[in-house]
Chain A
């Protein structure tokens, strides 16, 4: 069955430090993969997506993610976080029958 796992519920990093959020997926074929960010009281904003081709994808706000088929992973990275990056991050996979499946999310906290 199609699924997405984000192993870390909370992550805390210092401002200026690097960030990596983990995402593992289970999917029967080459998946479409997404990372979304949700600020408090807001909807979800698409950060980046992977459909095919180059396995390192660049997104908005300085984020990037790398698709690793052998590890069934699509981890999100940022070289230097800013206080405004504090939010909840969702990895998603799809579509299967046109449904996108979301992970449970990772809440990112930033220390000043």
Chain B
């Protein structure tokens, strides 16, 4: 069974631009969570989607948004990029009713 895939793997953007990251969960997994990982803050929870509905949200500004499609694929969008948004963005999927999360390799976003 294929694992969680994230595209693109690397991205360089300029301040003020916006970016969209994509995540395809493991087949059959309907829950998708997003995390931001930085050296200073560690892993921080962004949001979780289940069956196309946002179920939980972390403490991030409204510039960070996401959505989930009917096939469980998820996207996250960051608008008006800031230098501090440079991070590894990780997506994780899980089966309904379970708490074990399976992570993708991440998208490394660099904002210049």
Q: Which residues of A contact B (CB under 8 A)?
A: 32, 34, 36, 41-46, 49, 90, 94-95, 97-105
Beta-carbon contact of B55 and A90 below 8 Å: no
B residues less than 8 Å from A49 (CB atoms): 100
Output the residue of B42, B56, B105, B106 with the most chain A CB within 10 A.
B42
Q: Is the interface of A mostly helix, strand, loop or mixed?
A: strand
Q: Please give, as numbers and ranges, the residues of chain B lying within 8 Å of A45 by CB-CB distance.
A: 103
Which residue of B is nearest A51, CB measured? B99
- When distances are taken between beta carbons in the complex, the residues of chain A under 8 Å from B48 are 98-99
Interface size of B in residues (CB-CB distance below 8 Å):
20
B100-A46 in contact (CB<8A):
yes
Q: Are B99 and A100 in contact (CB under 8 A)?
A: yes
Across the interface, which residues of B come within 8 angstroms of A95, CB to CB? Answer: 99
Task: Check B90 for interface membership: any CB of A closer than 8 A.
Answer: yes
* Smallest CB gap from A49: residue in B: B100
Residue pair B56, A98 in contact (C-beta under 8 Å): yes
5 new A-B contacts, CB < 8 A, other than A42-B106, A43-B106, A95-B99, are: A41-B105, A43-B4, A44-B92, A44-B103, A105-B42
CA distance A45 to B106 in the complex (A): 12
B16 at the interface (CB under 8 A from A): no
Q: List 20 A-B contacts (CB under 8 A).
A: A32-B99, A36-B103, A41-B105, A42-B105, A43-B90, A43-B103, A43-B104, A43-B105, A46-B101, A46-B102, A90-B43, A95-B99, A98-B48, A98-B55, A99-B45, A99-B48, A99-B58, A100-B99, A102-B35, A105-B43
